[in-house]
Amino acid sequence: MPKPTLVMIHGLVGSLRYFSPVARLPDLDVHAPDLLGYGALSGRHLALDLAAQVTHIIEQIERLSRRPAWVLGHSMGGAIAMMVADRRPDLVSGLINVEGNFTLADAFWSRSIASTSEEAWAEQYRAMRGNVPAWVRRCGLEPSPQIVEWATEILDNQPAATLRIMSRTLIDTTGSPDYLDMVRRIVGRGPGIHLIAGERSAGDWDVPPLVREAACSSAEIVGTGHLMMLEAPDEFCRVVDRVVHGAG
């Protein structure tokens, strides 16, 4: 019997390959593609919006699997995952929303980036990449060698321009009443939604009551925050595996 397919969509900064989810989830067929404007696709960032990213992920799922796939989205990727499920529910067997954006309250970093001038943000991002341990500390983490290595990979995966463009489209999309209407449609018809949060950041995640009430499962990764897979990749993958195999 073939393994369930899991497509993992990274957040505003990516990718999700740095913690080796393929190796940590051997019972799943795992794929963690770069979004447009990121990684190998970093040159394609001039005409980006969330709708373009949704089309990109749909194309990835169609290419990877002839069966519906599980779709996991972290942070901004959570919004993209919901939009994929709304546009092509036939391609999605289940949704795993990992502190994904539901309202503007979740877009705290994006609002800061979007309100900064292009030149000022580029300079800020150069400074972040030039002192990764300081950025890790600002994220509330202890900059161990492994975390610094992974954080460097995350920050090097996209140019500053991509982050500014995606921050603006994330705010425009999730700030629209149409977005919550879409969420209501998904809750009403499926696929099922599973929620994962970090213990330290769960209280700041603005999940609409209708989503919490309808969620098939909800889990918190103990001792972690928004970047839970950076802090506790093994436990994160154990939770994901349980969800996909029906024990979430």
Query: DSSP string of 190-216?
Result: ---EEEEEETTTGGG----HHHHHH-S
pLDDT band at 64 (very low <50, low <70, confident <90, very high): confident
Exposed/middle/buried for 234, CB within 10 Å: 0-12, 13-18, 19+? Answer: exposed
Q: Which residue from 194, 184, 157 is spatially nearest to 70, judged by alpha carbons?
A: 194
pLDDT tens column, 145-190: 999 999 999 999 999 999 999 999 999 999 999 999 999 999 999 8
What Å distances lie between residue 75 and 15, 98, 101, 130, CA to CA? 12, 6, 6, 24
**Mean pLDDT, to the nearest integer, of 45-50?**
78
| CA–CA gap between residue 225 and residue 27 (Å, rounded) | 26
Sequence spans of domains, the chain? 5-244
- Output phi, psi for 177, to 5 deg: -60, -25
Return the CA Rg of the chain: 17
Assess whether pLDDT exceeds 80 at residue 104.
yes
pTM more than 0.75: yes
pLDDT at 96: 98
Q: Name the architecture of domain 5-244.
A: 3-Layer(aba) Sandwich (3.40)
| Mean of all residue pLDDT scores within the chain | 95
**Mean pLDDT, to the nearest integer, of 58-68?**
89
| CA–CA gap between residue 227 and residue 15 (Å, rounded) | 12
Tokens of 70: 């599980």
Cβ atoms of 50 and 192 closer than 8 Å: no
pLDDT at 44: 61
Cβ atoms of 154 and 14 closer than 8 Å: yes
Assess whether pLDDT exceeds 90 at residue 201.
yes
pLDDT at 46: 63
